[in-house]
Structure 1
Amino acid sequence: MSRNYLEKILRARVYDVARETPLEFIPRLSARLNTNIWLKREDMQSVFSFKLRGAYNKIYNLSEKQKQKGVIAASAGNHAQGVALAGKRLGVPALIVMPTTTPPIKVQTVRNLGARIILHGDSYDDAYTHARSLVKEKGMVFVHPFDDPDVIAGQGTVAMEVLRQHEDPVEAIFIPVGGGGLIGGMAAYIKRVRPEIRVIGVEPEDTPTLQRALKANRRVSLKQIGLFADGVAVRQIGKETFKLAQQYVDDVVLVTTDEICAAIKDIYDDTRSVAEPAGALGIAGIKKYLQKKRGKHGNLIAILSGANINFDRLRHVSERAELGEQREALIAVEIPERPGSFLSFCRVLGKRNITEFNYRYHDERRAHVFCGIELSGGAEERDSIISRLKQKEFGITDLTDNETAKLHIRYMVGGHAPQVKNERLFRFVFPERPGALLDFLAGLSRGWNISLFHYRNHGAAYGRVLVGVQLSGTQVAEFRAYLKELGYRYHEETENPAYRLFASAGD
């Protein structure tokens, strides 16, 4: 089988549309992990993904009669762009069935490449079923996204380039896995030419399509799949690609969403490029591999398979990257409900960056604070911080690995506090720097009781804090005089309708 695919890959027609992408050494991550790490930049293709290789090779090899009738595909992303571009270059009519939920920017991108589009169903499975029915109705050729020998061979040209670009010894190559077209084609080539190189697939933990199949020794259809890494969100590995994986894939590594987000940040730090979640799987896999197999390692190569990420997803990526890298700890802290408690807590933390600080008055005895702390020493530093806080008799609950806390509770700290009297609400802006929050709280330690506090570090030059303070009588004038002395920009928000509706205190 490998000889057959070796010949098909060597003869694959891809360079009419594809470019030979660079294999780049990434110095920052290599230095941090003390291992030489290389990145195959398939995000630099014209459609920002490797998918055009297989699509073009498939359509190029059709008979003239088949080309005249046209091709059809089902896709919500990279495969659709590859088929559309191939059809345009070869003068072959292309029809793409996309789910109705496909973001408009992706629909327009495919349309700009000259393909006709049908929006059908709410999921890829709906679009796929409809596309297969249209094949019989219209007599068009279906271009499968992965389970086709010509598609597999086209994707395998990535391996051909990698081994030509890196002639020195390679320990392992880490390849994202969805339906298996990329890893099937690459593995068939690698094991024929350089059999000593380990081929390692990388999948999200919530979509272990290949890992489950290899474990069961048969193709398994997943009941549920994750959607974050949408480029590999496939329920079942392909028939042909599974045969190749059984024969040539050495191992499969599973990674979490947070680890994928951390890998996207790692890639950005080294290349200033933003990978899509599926595209960052290779780097996430390398990091997981090195955690489990400590010691000296040879050259490791990751395939950056694509960069078609929705812009609005970057918010989530940024939020979770620090957790995936274990650079942020999330803790719940119980402190006495009295003036100065916040300051005492922050002094224990010292000059560490506080990434988040949320609090709302609960009762007169104790306060619960949701706090994020920037880490430089990973889990060991987190454990040390928690130990120090417990020694100071603060009640601590570690929420770093609590999915509900990360996704929901952090945004829900607050609400009405009818038992709080004479509350005034102020919004502050101050220069963001290590220790800035501690300095800010130190200024408030004049006996005024803080009844609401919300702060989140968004990586901007300025920190933004919302503070509720209980002030009565002459304290209002004293507090205003203090604010003038403080010198930070502020706005009073006591009459803000959002506050009145959702977070106000008693009269």
Structure 2
Amino acid sequence: MTKTGVDEAMTALREIFPETPLQLNEHLSRRYGADIWLKREDLSPVRSYKIRGAFNFFRKTMTTGAQGRTFVCASAGNHAQGFAFVCRHFQVPGVVFMPVTTPQQKIDKTRIFGGEFITIRLVGDIFDQCYAAANAHVAEIGGVMVPPFDHPDIIEGQATVASEILGQLPEGVSPDLVVLPVGGGGLASGITGYLSDVVPQDDFVLVEPLGAPSLKRSLEAGAPVQLPKVDNFVDGAAVARIGELNFEALKRFHPDQVLLAPENAICVTITEMLNIEGFVLEPAGALSITALDMLSLERLKGKTVVAVVSGGNFDFERLPDVKERAMRYAGLKKYFILRLAQRPGALRDFLNLLGPEDDIARFEYLKKSARNFGSILIGIETRNPQNFKGLLERFEAEDIGYQDITDNEILANLII
């Protein structure tokens, strides 16, 4: 990848959409005492940066004898939508393989972007099965596989984000800190490579989901590693193995430069940015903003910080779960199993222990046949996390047996 090649790709991209905005966010800037600039890739035509790499791949591949061939990709998310948009732009046939479990909303959006130029095939329950089917189809028809991140043309296309950033910052201003989300590594590889002579290596911060630390574990091992399992909540960045080319581009970074953002902390960012700024962010798109809270104020204070917001393809059917996770992480909601006496007035006595800012959000008897005592699942919301300290003290003073299961993932998944 060369700067000239990236700049040429950026110029070519103007055929299909204008540069995405780089916005100084006053809310975040006040919070951290810094100039926080957000690169809004959620405002691209497909609401993510993925269209850049796909466009660049098509643009370059079609000049090397790919005319008349069918393009193929495997994706359940943003790559599929960028792929479909570009197929329609170049008016070439494309086949998108998606897992059968893909939400209908994503299937419909992909079909809208691609129109008559794409065919969607639902294969397998998980991505690996879908990807295998896509590769088999490419071999069968002599098609062209468009990878999501592990290809030089994809990396070069994603690097156009960095080219735009430098042109959009005020004259004479350069980033002191650049915060980048990492999934397969295409975006981070392109941006860090393009900015390598502008931003010192130590001034990049890379962010992965806690449940999918493929880059961090690979950096620790000194080679790409396959994670045995990943948490798919941050679906746009839940990658079990960093790309080979991407690791080569990123292996110069220290593992400590890769922050792992808890999934529930990401939910706090999503709800906060929606409520305060009106931004609709997908979990992967909230990674870089979440990372700001994980950095010390001393590192941020007075700095020019650029954080890349990678996408906004959020399914609002997930909003109740996101809100639930956010409240639990912020300490505003807890779940308990209580042991209450089975006698008249016991429930009234318990309710009198609640504070003025406490509210019952869930109440369910778990054992209805107990003679003397009953087990109750209760969810309590409050306005200040400190309220729970007083509540638990009152539980203990009244000798109410309880177990806090808020952070017990096994019980929470089974019961809540």
TM-score interval w.r.t. the shorter chain?
A: 0.7 to 0.9
Is 1:18 paired with 2:12?
Answer: no
Residue 426 of structure 1 corresponds to which residue in structure 2? none
1:342 and 1:212 map into 2 onto residues whose CA distance is 50
Shift of the 74–363 alpha-carbon distance from structure 1 to 2, 3 Å rule, reads: closer
2:102 and 2:179 map into 1 onto residues whose CA distance is 29
2:389 and 2:37 map into 1 onto residues whose CA distance is 33
1:386 and 1:5 map into 2 onto residues whose CA distance is 60
2:300 and 2:56 map into 1 onto residues whose CA distance is 41
Residue 333 of structure 2 corresponds to which residue in structure 1? 328
Q: CA deviation at 1:66?
A: 1.1
SS at match of 2:194: helix
SS at match of 1:404: helix
Shift of the 299–326 alpha-carbon distance from structure 1 to 2, 3 Å rule, reads: farther
- Structure number with higher relative contact order (C-alpha < 8 Å, ≥ 6 residues apart): 2
Shift of the 279–295 alpha-carbon distance from structure 1 to 2, 3 Å rule, reads: closer
Residue 309 of structure 1 corresponds to which residue in structure 2? 314
1:294 and 1:251 map into 2 onto residues whose CA distance is 13
Q: State which of 178, 194, 197 in structure 2 corresponds to 1:192.
A: 197
Shift of the 295–264 alpha-carbon distance from structure 1 to 2, 3 Å rule, reads: closer
SS at match of 1:348: coil
Partner amino acid, structure 2, of 1:227: N
Partner amino acid, structure 2, of 1:104: Q
SS at match of 1:231: coil
Q: CA deviation at 1:343?
A: 3.8
Residue 98 of structure 2 corresponds to which residue in structure 1? 98
Superposed CA deviations along residues 418-443 of structure 1, whole A, max 9, x for unmatched, are xxxxxxxxxxxxxxxxxxxxxxxxxx
SS at match of 1:358: strand
Residue 259 of structure 2 corresponds to which residue in structure 1? 253
Residue 166 of structure 2 corresponds to which residue in structure 1? 163
Matches within 5 A, 1:196-275: 198-248=203-253, 251-275=257-281
Q: CA deviation at 1:277?
A: 1.7
1:142 and 1:157 map into 2 onto residues whose CA distance is 22
Residue 124 of structure 2 corresponds to which residue in structure 1? 121
- Greater shift after overlay, 187-196 or 57-66? 187-196
TM-score (norm 1): 0.72
Q: CA deviation at 1:27?
A: 4.0
Partner amino acid, structure 2, of 1:210: L
Shift of the 56–347 alpha-carbon distance from structure 1 to 2, 3 Å rule, reads: same
Shift of the 322–231 alpha-carbon distance from structure 1 to 2, 3 Å rule, reads: same
Shift of the 314–126 alpha-carbon distance from structure 1 to 2, 3 Å rule, reads: same
In structure 2, the gaps of 5 or more residues are none
1:122 and 1:27 map into 2 onto residues whose CA distance is 43
1:72 and 1:404 map into 2 onto residues whose CA distance is 39
Total equivalences in the alignment: 405
Residue 45 of structure 1 corresponds to which residue in structure 2? 44
Shift of the 23–368 alpha-carbon distance from structure 1 to 2, 3 Å rule, reads: farther
2:392 and 2:178 map into 1 onto residues whose CA distance is 38
1:333 and 1:118 map into 2 onto residues whose CA distance is 49
Residue 86 of structure 2 corresponds to which residue in structure 1? 86
Is 1:135 paired with 2:138?
Answer: yes
SS at match of 2:290: helix
TM-score (norm 2): 0.87
CA contact (8 A) 1:14 1:54 kept: no
Residue 442 of structure 1 corresponds to which residue in structure 2? none
1:7 and 1:326 map into 2 onto residues whose CA distance is 49
CA contact (8 A) 1:191 1:197 kept: no
Q: Percent identity, please.
A: 35
Superposed CA deviations along residues 277-326 of structure 1, whole A, max 9, x for unmatched, are 222222222223349x8884634443221122333222311221211222
Partner amino acid, structure 2, of 1:9: V
CA contact (8 A) 1:187 1:248 kept: no
1:355 and 1:10 map into 2 onto residues whose CA distance is 56
Q: CA deviation at 1:214?
A: 0.7
Q: CA deviation at 1:72?
A: 1.8
2:305 and 2:395 map into 1 onto residues whose CA distance is 40
CA contact (8 A) 2:20 2:40 kept: yes
In structure 1, the gaps of 5 or more residues are 411-507
Partner amino acid, structure 2, of 1:22: P
Residue 66 of structure 1 corresponds to which residue in structure 2? 66
Q: Rg larger in 1 or in 2? A: 1
Residue 405 of structure 2 corresponds to which residue in structure 1? 399
Q: State which of 379, 404, 415 in structure 2 corresponds to 1:372.
A: 379
Over aligned residues, Cα RMSD in angstroms? 2.8
2:381 and 2:67 map into 1 onto residues whose CA distance is 57
Shift of the 26–336 alpha-carbon distance from structure 1 to 2, 3 Å rule, reads: farther
1:108 and 1:295 map into 2 onto residues whose CA distance is 41
Matches within 5 A, 1:381-392: 381-392=387-398
Superposed CA deviations along residues 375-415 of structure 1, whole A, max 9, x for unmatched, are 4444x5533432343234333322221223433323xxxxx
1:334 and 1:223 map into 2 onto residues whose CA distance is 39
